[in-house]
Amino acid sequence: MKIVKIVVASIAVLFIGYHSIEIKKLDEVKKASTETFDALAFAHNFLEKTLPPSFSKAPSVATLLALLSKEPKKAFQEMSNAVAIGNIRYFLVKGEGQITKIQDDEIQVLLPNQTQPISVKLATEFIYGNAIRDAAGVFDIKQFTNTSDINNISAEINKIIRTERVPAFKKQIKVGDSIQFVGALEMNQEYLKLQNLEILPIEFNKI
Amino acid sequence: MLLFLLTMACQQKKTSEGPKKMAIVVSTLNNPWFVFLAENAAAKAKELGYETKIFDSQNNTALESDHFENAIVSGYQAILFNPTDADGSVVNVQKAKDAGIPVFCMDREINSATAATSQILSDSFSGCVAIGKFFVQQLNKKGNYVELLGLVGDNNTWARSKGFHSLVDNYPNLKMVAQQSADFDRNKAMEVMESILQAQPNIDAVFCGNDAMAMGAYQALAGAGKANKVKVFGFDGADDVVGAIKDGKVAATGMQFPKVMAQMAAVYADEYLKGKRDFPAKIPVAVELVTKENIAHYTAFGKK
């Protein structure tokens, strides 16, 4: 009888023990723990495939400014986007105009307008933040659970523009050239500032 | 375990018949910023028809754990939560989730993608990117600077530092000559800064992970007669720094909006209890750059 008890107890211990632990190959565990989100690949796909279909829907700078002057609430509701909750919103805009000045950190462009021309700055150095990622409203934060992934996407998108697209474009242009561009514009809806606009470029071409 | 589940089941039945209640569990009520956060969460929950109670964890995860157990057995239907520790608080949130109580994190993050129903967080990284841009422009891309970090175990400390460095490190003529933690504490920041100034007297700027440390750094610089030469940058939007920016003592801060986070958490909890289930795991709340140019539009913890 005692032997039966020992056998039953041993089987129970072995059963519980077996189901209490899971044995995995060490290289599988290491591989799983080092698999990280590829923000650079996401950024390339975003700039090359996800974002371009929105370009045709972007208002011109002149159209946006006219609406912001007359009906700012409507402009923000219908045209702005942002992943973060708050007053900072982003607009996808396009423009066509003449380069009036080329500086280290920006290009000044004069955009023709019905009333008077609009002067804007296209940033060429300080291309940071979430404007480009968020402006078109096509970035879906619900796909992500990791905060650093969300931040890294913006950082990689900005880096591609700042270190690849801008230097190539700057080599082609000079003052007086006509260009067209699509870019992202940041606005604080509580602290509206319609002068000295700084646009972060996404795509630009010499006409 | 069976007894616990039975207790929970009985409690769930009881709560569905009792008054609607939300618990607000905050890391500490010793800091006015968190008092503001808790009071606004409670006010919004009351406005939505809930009874509320604020629990102070006193920066102690064990006490926080007690509060969660208390909230679970007392029949609270949702918990609006400001965690004490990104890792240590996960078990408490999971406990509530297992008991069928949704938890909505406010301002501070926990290191779990699934335990909380949603986490509503200041976008510290992006806020510090904006500060970093202003920092680089103010220093004309060159100079020596010091960084004072917050608590090294806090996610916000590193989100802020990483956001700042993601931009500033692209400018090789900006040299960080010292980086030390001052635990988000004003007095400690003053002591640390005094010590750094002994070894590094030629600095042009100090970037601080919060406003309390910015004020402490400013005091040390003023004591050393360097306040006019060295630019100080903070983060939070605290009352004294808003005043210091007006007076030209502090160059800039990142304004957080605790009221927005608190109200959003209460609204989300209410929506959850009414049946909604589709919430983003993380919701960033924008941080705004505040400088002397736009200070007239701001007051402590938000806009006028």
pLDDT at B153: 74
- Using the beta-carbon criterion (under 8 Å), do A145 and B126 form an inter-chain contact? no
What is the mean predicted confidence (pLDDT) over A41-54?
97
pLDDT at A147: 84
- Using the beta-carbon criterion (under 8 Å), do A85 and B286 form an inter-chain contact? yes
Picking from B190, B165, B161, B184, the residue whose alpha carbon sits closest to that of residue B175 is: B165
How far apart CA B129 and CA B124 sit, in angstroms, is: 9
Cross-chain CB nearest to A130 (options B126, B136, B162): B126
pLDDT at B13: 44
For the segment A171-192, what is each residue's pLDDT rounded down to a tens digit? Answer: 999 999 999 999 999 999 998 9
- Using the beta-carbon criterion (under 8 Å), do A83 and B166 form an inter-chain contact? no
What is the mean predicted confidence (pLDDT) over A67-81?
97
Cross-chain CB nearest to A87 (options B113, B166, B288): B288
Q: Is the pLDDT of residue B40 over 70?
A: yes
For the segment A134-156, what is each residue's pLDDT rounded down to a tens digit? Answer: 999 999 988 887 888 999 999 99
Mean pLDDT, rounded, of chain B: 92
pLDDT at A11: 72
In order, the DSSP letters of chain B are -HHHHHHHHHHHHHHHHS--EEEEEES-SSSHHHHHHHHHHHHHHHHTT-EEEEEE-TT-HHHHHHHHHHHHHTT-SEEEE--S-TTTTHHHHHHHHHTT--EEEESS--S-SSSSSEEEEE-HHHHHHHHHHHHHHHTTT-EEEEEEE--TT-HHHHHHHHHHHHHHTT-TTEEEEEEEE-TT-HHHHHHHHHHHHHH-----EEEESSHHHHHHHHHHHHHTT-TTTSEEE--B--HHHHHHHHTTSS-EEEE--HHHHHHHHHHHHHHHHTT-----SEEEE--EEEETTTGGGEETTEE-
Contacts of A142 in chain B (CB under 8 A): 280-281
Residue B27 C-alpha, separation from nearest chain A C-alpha, in angstroms: 21
Residue B15: which pLDDT band, with cuts at 50, 70 and 90?
A: very low
Q: CB of A55 within 8 Å of any CB in chain B?
A: no
> Does the predicted model carry a pTM greater than 0.90?
no
pLDDT at B303: 63
Q: Is the pLDDT of residue A25 over 70?
A: no
pLDDT at A23: 52
As a whole-number percent, the residues of chain B with pLDDT over 70 amount to: 93
What is the mean predicted confidence (pLDDT) over A35-56?
94
pLDDT at B101: 97
Residue A19: which pLDDT band, with cuts at 50, 70 and 90?
A: low
Of residues A4 and B281, which shows the higher confidence score?
B281
| Nearest chain A residue (CA) to B119 | A145
Q: Is the pLDDT of residue A80 over 70?
A: yes
How far apart CA A153 and CA B202 sit, in angstroms, is: 36
How far apart CA B271 and CA B290 sit, in angstroms, is: 33
| Nearest chain A residue (CA) to B278 | A142
- Using the beta-carbon criterion (under 8 Å), do B125 and A151 form an inter-chain contact? yes
Contacts of A144 in chain B (CB under 8 A): 281-282
Q: Is the pLDDT of residue B46 over 80?
A: yes
Size of interface A-B (CB pairs under 8 A): 73
| Nearest chain B residue (CA) to A86 | B286
Find which of B125, B135, B139, B164 to mutate to test the A interface (most A CBs within 10 Å of its CB). B125
pLDDT at A84: 94
Mean pLDDT, rounded, of chain A: 89
For the segment B243-282, what is each residue's pLDDT rounded down to a tens digit? Answer: 999 999 999 999 999 999 999 999 999 999 999 999 988 8
What is the mean predicted confidence (pLDDT) over A108-126?
94
Cross-chain CB nearest to B285 (options A85, A146, A147): A85
Q: Is the pLDDT of residue A71 over 50?
A: yes
pLDDT at A17: 56
For the segment A155-174, what is each residue's pLDDT rounded down to a tens digit? Answer: 999 999 999 999 999 999 99
pLDDT at A144: 85
Q: CB of A82 within 8 Å of any CB in chain B?
A: yes
How far apart CA B24 and CA B1 sit, in angstroms, is: 26
- Using the beta-carbon criterion (under 8 Å), do A128 and B260 form an inter-chain contact? no
